[in-house]
Amino acid sequence: MKERPIDNKRVYIFDTTLRDGEQSPGASLNVSEKLEIAQVLAELGVDIIEAGFPISSEGDFEAVKTIAERVEGPVICGLARALPKDIDRCWEAIRSNPRPRIHTFIATSQVHLEKKLRKSPAEVIELAVEAVKRARGYCENVEFSTEDAARSDRDYICEIIERCIAAGATTINIPDTVGYSNPWEYGGLIEYVFAKAPNVHDAVISVHCHNDLGLAVANSLAAVRAGARQVECTINGIGERAGNTSLEEFVMNLATRHGFFGFHTGIRTEKIFRASRMVSNFTGIVVQPNKAVVGANAFAHEAGIHQDGMIKDKSTYEIMTPESVGWRGQSLVMGKHSGRNAFTKRLQELGFSLSPEQVERAFEEFKELADLKKDVFDEDLEAIAIRVQNLEPEVGAETFSLEYLQTVTSLRERPRAVVSLRCGEEVLDGTATGDGPVDAVCNAIRKITGTPSRMVDYRIAAITGGTDAQGSVSLTLEEVPFRSVGRASGPDIIVASAEAYIMALNILEQKKSSARISSVSVTQP
Ligand code: KIV
Ligand code: ZN
């Protein structure tokens, strides 16, 4: 099955938030978060979801398999190196979906061939062709990527593209893996492929741009003008290093400047903002306020002259409406007198489907927060809903929970923390000092649990403005080869930090014990 557009002005949106996006430093998602994001991407109208890289870990395999089983509509794709074991594993993960795609890749630049693969150009072509054939043995929809294409010899990539299309690839992706190119050069590369690869019209040409020089969206637009009809992108532009082409920016360029570009996508643009918030909440990667399309300031008019113009006629300073991307700014939703029905309705409007017990718990938290904080915003409700969903983490009974916490900070003394953790029937106490109160709390938890893990990432962000804002904490622990991410939020950032740490420790323990169980079952007959 070729995913060729019948309509030559239609650009396919290939979303790789769950694969390349998840390669962003610190962005690790669990299976249920990935599934929720995939469902939102399907509602958004993306054509293809790259759900993960199944051979890379058990967790990734599980996530791709779950998405393939549960998400219908878009093509569900898994990534595989040009190796038989990768392709077999990828197929295992996606086979249950009615529209599966295998995406296989190999590097084509001189530097990658010499230094990374240590293979000759002819050997790489053979591996690519064999990979495409193997993938085609499983499914009709196969994408092949020439990794680091923007730094590859043009004639060489035309040759490998021709051979892979002949072997059955239905989409050919030409990535700017290191974000090195610019619109003139990259558009020229796509034109070159169209001119030199004789069977190029038998496949959809795709582009995948990284943002190292801030040109990923511009390069993707240039490529579309040169003939590409699939664009690979991520929500909020997250991804490896400086990220990937931002879905919302690319799509809104085509929509806002339709008269100039003349292309369209199947994206329901009014669902963009919700997807952006969800990805930011789940990954802990904060969207910069001045980010195009979805940033907090994207539709804010500060200067008096601008405000005056907006009052007279919005078209003076507004090139797209906030409604067209579902942007809702920071809206004051309710106060402490709001009732349960209004609260439940608002959560549904924000896209959360909580069980009656979860709604009950969330409502209690909302009341407590409304007592502490004078204004409660949608963002606060989102944080509560996510917190309540996370109260049922995928961890067993032998886990830690926070029983008591006290910190003392004073001007010329080191901050000190007293912490008690519950583990089953036992309550364990510890005290420690640190460079700051969060450090002191983490040191106390480390002492109590005796964990050898290292904290490799810690981020904190205010959910709304003001000193009474809730803080959202996301941190990553590492105990080689395992990593785990803990997230928590609340009006007290020290408590939120402790909770995020404990969540990450519990998940780490669970990962270690599942690895022990599977290694025992492997050695048993
Ligand atoms: O950046 C890249 O080249 C990739 C490929 C796997 C498509 O992510
Ligand atoms: Zn990439």
Q: What residues sit around ligand 2, an ion, with C-beta below 5 angstroms?
A: 20
pLDDT of residue 522: 40
What CATH number does the domain containing 150 carry?
3.20.20.70
Number of independent structural domains in the chain: 3
Question: How far is ligand 2, taken at its centre, from the CA of residue 221, in Å?
Answer: 17
Domain for residue 316, yes or no?
A: no
Same domain, 381 and 456: no
- Ligand number nearest to the C-alpha of 79: 1
Same domain, 187 and 261: yes
pLDDT of residue 221: 98
pLDDT of residue 525: 34
Same domain, 216 and 165: yes
Same domain, 347 and 461: no
For 267, the domain range is 12-283
Same domain, 247 and 375: no
Question: How far is ligand 2, taken at its centre, from the CA of residue 382, in Å?
Answer: 30
Question: How far is ligand 1, taken at its centre, from the CA of residue 208, in Å?
Answer: 7
Using CA atoms, how far apart are residues 134 and 111, in angstroms rounded to an integer?
27
Q: Of all atoms in ligand 1, which is nearest to the CA of residue 232? A: 7
| Partners of 15 in beta bridges | 49, 233
Q: Of all atoms in ligand 1, which is nearest to the CA of residue 145? A: 7
Domain for residue 56, yes or no?
A: yes
Provide the whole-model pTM: 0.81
Domain for residue 331, yes or no?
A: no
- Residues touching ligand 1 (Cβ under 6 Å) are 20, 105, 145, 147, 173, 175, 177, 208, 210
Question: How far is ligand 1, taken at its centre, from the CA of residue 125, in Å?
Answer: 17
Strands 471-479 and 426-433, sheet pairing: unpaired
pLDDT of residue 24: 83
One pLDDT digit (tens) per residue for the chain, 525 residues: 444 556 899 999 999 999 999 988 767 788 988 999 999 999 999 999 999 999 999 989 999 999 999 999 999 999 999 999 999 999 999 999 999 999 999 999 999 999 999 999 999 999 999 999 999 999 999 999 999 999 999 999 999 999 999 999 999 999 999 999 999 999 999 999 999 999 999 999 999 999 999 999 999 999 999 999 999 999 999 999 999 999 999 999 999 999 999 999 999 999 999 999 899 888 888 898 899 999 988 988 777 787 778 788 888 888 999 999 998 765 656 777 778 888 888 888 777 778 889 999 999 988 888 887 767 777 788 878 877 876 555 444 468 999 999 999 998 899 999 999 999 889 999 999 999 999 999 999 999 999 999 998 898 888 777 777 888 888 888 888 777 878 888 889 999 999 999 988 988 887 777 666 555 444 333
Same domain, 363 and 420: no
Domain for residue 66, yes or no?
A: yes
Same domain, 198 and 155: yes
Residue 417 main-chain phi, psi, to 5 deg = -130, 145
Question: How far is ligand 2, taken at its centre, from the CA of residue 258, in Å?
Answer: 27
Domain for residue 395, yes or no?
A: no
What CATH number does the domain containing 440 carry?
3.30.160.270
DSSP 8-class letter at 452: -
Answer yes or no: are the C-beta atoms of 97 and 125 closer than 8 Å: no
Same domain, 49 and 198: yes
Q: Of all atoms in ligand 1, which is nearest to the CA of residue 210? A: 1
Alpha helices in 80-153 (DSSP H): 84-94, 110-111, 121-138
Residue minimizing CA distance to atom 7 of ligand 1: 145
Token reading at 372: 């502490």
pLDDT of residue 86: 98
Same domain, 44 and 180: yes
Domain end among 283, 308, 325: 283
Residue minimizing CA distance to atom 2 of ligand 1: 177
Using CA atoms, how far apart are residues 203 and 169, in angstroms rounded to an integer?
7
Q: Is 118 exposed, middle or buried (0-12, 13-18, 19+ CB in 10 A)?
A: exposed
Using CA atoms, how far apart are residues 192 and 205, in angstroms rounded to an integer?
12
Residue minimizing CA distance to atom 1 of ligand 1: 177
Question: How far is ligand 1, taken at its centre, from the CA of residue 17, in Å?
Answer: 12
Instruction: Encode 386-399: b = buried (16+ Cβ within 10 Å), e = exposed.
Output: bbbbbeeeebeeeb
Strands 376-377 and 332-334, sheet pairing: antiparallel
Q: Of all atoms in ligand 1, which is nearest to the CA of residue 178? A: 1
Domain end among 234, 253, 283: 283
Same domain, 107 and 154: yes
DSSP 8-class letter at 117: I
Same domain, 111 and 199: yes
Domain end among 266, 283, 300: 283
Same domain, 371 and 445: no
Question: How far is ligand 1, taken at its centre, from the CA of residue 43, in Å?
Answer: 25
Which one-letter amino acid corresponds to residue 248? E
Answer yes or no: are the C-beta atoms of 105 and 81 closer than 8 Å: yes
Q: Of all atoms in ligand 1, which is nearest to the CA of residue 177? A: 1
